[in-house]
Structure 1
Amino acid sequence: MNFNLYKDSILLTILKIWTFFLIVFASTNSYAQSDRARTNIGLVYPLSSNGTQAPRDTNSFSLNLIAGVSAAERGVSLAGFSNIVHHDTRGLQVAGFSNHIGGNAGGTMFAGFLNTYGSGNSVAVAGFANIARSSSGAQIAGFLNKGGNVSSLQIAGFLNIASNVKGVQIAGFMNVAKKVKGSQIGFINIADSAGTQVGIINIAKNGEKGISATIDENQTTILAFRSGGKTLYGIIGIGYNFNNKREKYAYEAGIGAHVLKIQSFRLNAELVGGGLESLKGEENYSKSSFRLIPAFRITPSIEIFGGPSINYINTDTEEGRKLTKKYISSWTRNNGRDLYGFYFGYNAGIQVLF
């Protein structure tokens, strides 16, 4: 069998079926009143049952092989590439690439790449981005959500942007807003004023920020930036180990909480991960710590702190082994090359608040 002839036959059959639907629905709609919702079947504007009238029609159902255009949609809209609606929608809009709604998107939108709309009170899901002037519904995107005034939920793989947020922003990297009455969850959270920020770097005018210098049981010193709100804060820092000759460059990141506050005294709990690097090889020393740290504010902007920690380490270097003498529990793998262990330590330092 000739494959090309077989393929051409299938394509011709599909085209005949699609032409039949166009003729049937065009003849049906030709008797429709202009003020009632129509059914639109097409290939791409104006090759559809609504023809050149399509931009002025309101549809109860739309199916376009490539792209459709309408004034409004009141049901289901399906397009292989794009749905373009000048005014409002209700129901479901699904497009292989993009949905573009000029007014209020009252239904649910799914797009392989992009959803753009004036306002929305339902759910918008896009492979890349959702962009709206305001959104009282949910925005879920692989990369970016831009929602104006958001009163529900934004979830993005990389970035969320909003003016005022009364719901939750969750991003793989950064959340940006002006006024947040809900929560921001991401690596970096930025707001003029914020409710709850959960991240490593949290910037808000009504939040607390500080630069600290610390030392631990291994003689690792860290210069860190702590930032957050009334309860939760983030930690990120770099430093130097004075015991080692190779793995001497230090880093850490984590989250903390003010679990108790009494005037100038605070009790902080921190969960931090970090390690030591030589920057020249594949040696590994990683460390995870839980710290319980009393802190005393000796002036309005200076705080001293120090307390015990329980630590878990993983190392495959001689320098890493020598840093700790006593373990609560330890074990080895790979014929003794990799060492794992739990031990008690401490962390102490001073912090300048601003």
Structure 2
Amino acid sequence: MNNKIRCILLILMLIFVIQHLSAQVDLHRKISINVQNLFIPQTLHVIEQDYNFFFAYNAKQIPADERVSINKRNIALKRALDEILSNRFAYTTIGNHVILRLKGINTEPEDFIILGVVRSADGFPLDSAVVYAVKENKAVITNNEGTFRLRLKEPSQYIHISCPNYKDTLLVAGTLNGEKIIGLYRKYTNTIVSPLETGDLGVLSSQTRFEKLPLVRNLVPQSALYLNRQVKTRHLIPIQVSFLPGMGSQQLTKGLNVNSFSLNVLAGYSKGVSGFEIGSLANITGGNVEGAQVAGVANIVNGQINGLQLAGVFNYTFNQVRGLQISGVGNISNNNVEGLQLAGVSNNNKGTVNGAQVSGVLNTNLRKVTGLQLAGVANIQADKISGCQLSGVYGIASDVKGVQLSGIMSHTTHDVSGVQISSILNKARKLNGLQIGIVNIADSIENGVQIGLFNIVKNGYHAFEFTKDETYYCNFMYKTGGKRFYSILDAGIRKDEVGVGYGFGYIQPIYKRLSVNMDAIYGVLLATNSSETYCGKIMNFRLGINYRILKHLTLTNGLSFNLYDPDKENERSGSAGKISFTGNSSNTISQAFKNNRKAIWPGWFFGVRF
């Protein structure tokens, strides 16, 4: 069994190696560029931004004040560079890095140690400059005196030197075989922030939040985080094995590596993943993950997820998630989620969700959800949801287009277009659809229905109605709902019985002060002078004509059709015979109630409505 596992892992590793060994910038790739009267460094930066690779060069060798204009489509990268740089430079590609060097520089290979001092143009030593050997992926940070020492195998490679707020420079390693003084010039000479600089500030803000996470701060060396900020490059590694981010001879440059297959015995730190990464404790990634990332405790990613992110405790992603994000406790995403976000306890997302957000306890989301939001306890949705929100206890959203279902309370701060259901309370501002609950509250109903014991519409229909009919001495109704459709609470009083019921009604204006209404009420008859309180069911269907005398006073009268179904029939009376009335004798109706006989009769009513 162990041999089979080893064979499978070996095959996977070989696939990743074959896939990425040739992954580097192609000088013959076709590009399109259109710039007019732009400085050469800015022109090169435009190409970097459009095609996702980097240029490395000595800033002194490229005239910063020389402008170029070029408008080419589908031109080879090498030809475009020859035109921009007047055919004065040779090009070397390493990974996603294009090295620019003046033609004619002698770079004979020789093993040696490079030494130097990095200073500002004013002669002050720079104690945080990064000296990076691009080809060998080695780096060192200058000390308080600005000095550095780095052992290399090949003197022909290029050394990239950078420092915050200073222009980068590129030197050939062979020129640093003595303690050479290297001067760096300040990057910004004015206080106006360019659009490119503004983008850099946003990236730095995300990077700062990433670095302040306790797990990152305690596991990853600060020097490695600093190097990752300063050196804008990626080094492709087919296979990587790590014990801890702070251990090993390459700990400083681990944050520059994009790994195809990464095995972290405890925890690991890298620039990105393009394949598969597994760690028993934690995986910490400063860039994007393309593929699958699995950790026993936590995955922390400062870039995007395209694929699967699986953790035993939690996942924390600072950018977009496309695929599956699954954890035993919690998922945190600072950007959009396209796919499934599944957690045993909670999901916290600050972007949009297109797919499903499922948790055992709580889902929170700041922007729109399109799809399913399911939580065992509560869903807190700050924006609109188009789809279905299911909550065990409480669900809230700004707008609902679809279904909102909660065990206790469904709350929409703005509009509901669809169905809102809860066992106790539903609340919305504007209802276009259906509310079902014991208590339904809405500011207004445009085209909808409330079904519940108490239906409250702030800007809807409210009426108290007192009537007299053939069944009750006095009948009281409270009607509330939309402008046309409403619910009814009904209570009637007889000599020895009372009736209570619930129903629905519809009112339609006819002409000015005149209107008609249709009511259907289902109730029960309760005895007040007997130990057996429940007598039976009574159903009432009314057709009324209404005339409004004053703004809040209306006369109402009409006809009714009534059905009484007793709890148990009087066996001594023979069959359950129906009692039909051509008239409506109150005495005969009373006999039907008293003798527990089914009865059907037409009726009448009149009264006032407030």
Q: How much has 1:29 moved relative to structure 2?
A: 8.6
1:32 partner letter: V
- 1:133 to 2:379 alignment: no
Q: Name the CA distance, whole Å, in 2 between partners of 1:110 and 1:257.
A: 41
- What letter matches 1:254 in structure 2? G
Asked if the contact 2:487–2:505 (Cα under 8 Å) also holds between the matched residues in 1, the reply is: yes
Aligned equivalent of 2:466:
213
Distance 2:580 2:377 in 1: 48
* 1:303 correspondence with 2:554: yes
Correspondence for 1:162? 412
Aligned length: 309
The answer on whether the counterparts of 2:501 and 2:522 sit within 8 Å (CA) in structure 1 is yes
Report if the CA contact (8 A) 2:562-2:601 is conserved: yes
Distance in 1 between residues matched to 2:569 and 2:557, nearest whole Å:
29
Q: CA deviation at 1:240?
A: 2.3
Structure 2 runs not aligned, ≥5 long? 1-240, 243-260, 275-286, 582-594
Does the CA contact (< 8 Å) of 2:369 and 2:383 recur in 1?
Answer: no
CA 1:278–1:136 in structure 2 vs 1: closer, same or farther (change >3 Å)? same
After TM superposition, give the deviation of residue 277 of structure 1 in Å: 2.4
Rate the CA distance shift 1:35–1:226 in 2: closer, same or farther, 3 A.
Answer: same
1:285 aligns with 2:536: yes
Change (3 A) 1:272 1:112: farther
State the Cα deviation string for residues 258-280 of structure 1 (Å, max 9, x = none).
14532212111112111122476
Residue 228 of structure 1 and its aligned partner are, at CA, apart by: 2.0
Deviation at 1:91, TM superposition (A): 0.6
1:281 shift after superposition: 4.3
Specify the alignment match of 1:4 in structure 2. Answer: none
Q: Partner amino acid for 2:501?
A: E
Match of 2:490 among 237, 249, 260: 237
The answer to which structure, 1 or 2, has the higher relative contact order (CA under 8 A, 6+ apart) is 1
State how far apart, in whole Å, the 1-side matches of 2:604 and 2:499 are. Answer: 16
Corresponding residue for residue 15 of structure 2: none
2:419 and 2:463 mapped to 1: Cα distance? 24
Matched, 1:74 2:315: no
Question: Could you tell me which residue of structure 2 aligns to residue 271 of structure 1?
Answer: 520
What's the CA shift for 1:88?
2.3
CA shift at 1:65, angstroms? Answer: 3.7
TM-fit CA distance, 1:66: 4.3
SS of corresponding position for 1:284: strand
CA contact (8 A) 1:43 1:67 kept: no
Report deviation, 1:221: 2.8
Q: Give the counterpart letter for 2:460 in structure 1.
A: G
Cα separation, 2, equivalents of 1:101 and 1:152: 21
Structure 1 CA distance for aligned equivalents of residues 519 and 345 of structure 2: 44
One-letter code aligned to 2:549 = I
8 Å CA contact 2:472–2:492 kept in 1: the answer is no
- C-alpha displacement at 1:288, in angstroms? 2.3
26-35 or 188-197: which moved more?
A: 26-35
Q: Identify the range of structure 1 (275-284 vs 145-154) with the bigger mean alpha-carbon deviation.
A: 275-284
Cα displacement (A) at 1:338:
7.2
Partners of 1:42 and 1:64 within 8 A in 2? yes
Q: CA offsets per residue over residues 164-206 of structure 1, 9 Å max, x none? A: 215134223432223x162342343323333134224443343
Unaligned runs of 5+ in 1: 1-21, 329-336
Residue 333 (structure 1) aligns with = none
Q: Residues 129 and 327 from structure 1, CA distance in 2 versus in 1: closer, same or farther, beyond 3 angstroms?
A: farther
1:171 aligned partner: 421
- The 8 Å contact of residues 38 and 57 in structure 1, kept in 2 or not, is answered as no
| Other-structure match for 1:14 | none
Equivalence map 1:58-97=2 (5 Å): 58-59=304-305, 60-71=307-318, 72-97=320-345
1:114 aligns with 2:362: yes
Q: Which residue of 1 aligns with 2:245?
A: none
Identity rate, percent: 23
Supply the AA of the counterpart residue of 1:144. Y
Tell me if structure 2 keeps the 8 A contact 1:311–1:345: yes
Matched with 1:144 is: 394
The answer to whether residue 431 in structure 2 is matched with residue 190 in structure 1 is no
Q: Are residues 1:316 and 2:574 paired?
A: no
The amino acid that maps onto 2:382 is R
Change in 2 beyond 3 A, CA 1:249/1:83: farther
- Alignment-derived partner of residue 262 in structure 1: 511
Shift in Å at residue 318 of structure 1? 8.4
Whether contact under 8 Å (1:94, 1:111) holds in the other structure is yes
Q: Which amino acid aligns with 1:94?
A: L
Which structure shows the bigger proportion of residues in strand conformation? 1
1:101 is aligned to 349
CA contact (8 A) 1:190 1:202 kept: yes
Comparing both structures, which one devotes a greater share of its residues to helix?
A: 2
Whether contact under 8 Å (2:473, 2:493) holds in the other structure is yes
User: What letter is aligned with 1:135?
Assistant: K
Q: Tell me the TM-score normalized by structure 2.
A: 0.45
Greater displacement, 54-63 / 275-284: 275-284
**Residues 342 and 325 (structure 1 numbering): CA distance in 2 closer, same or farther, change over 3 Å?**
closer
| SS of aligned partner of 2:366 | strand
How far apart are 1:57 and its partner, in Å? 4.6
Conservation of the 8 A alpha-carbon contact between 1:160 and 1:169? no
Q: Report SS of the residue matched to 1:119.
A: coil
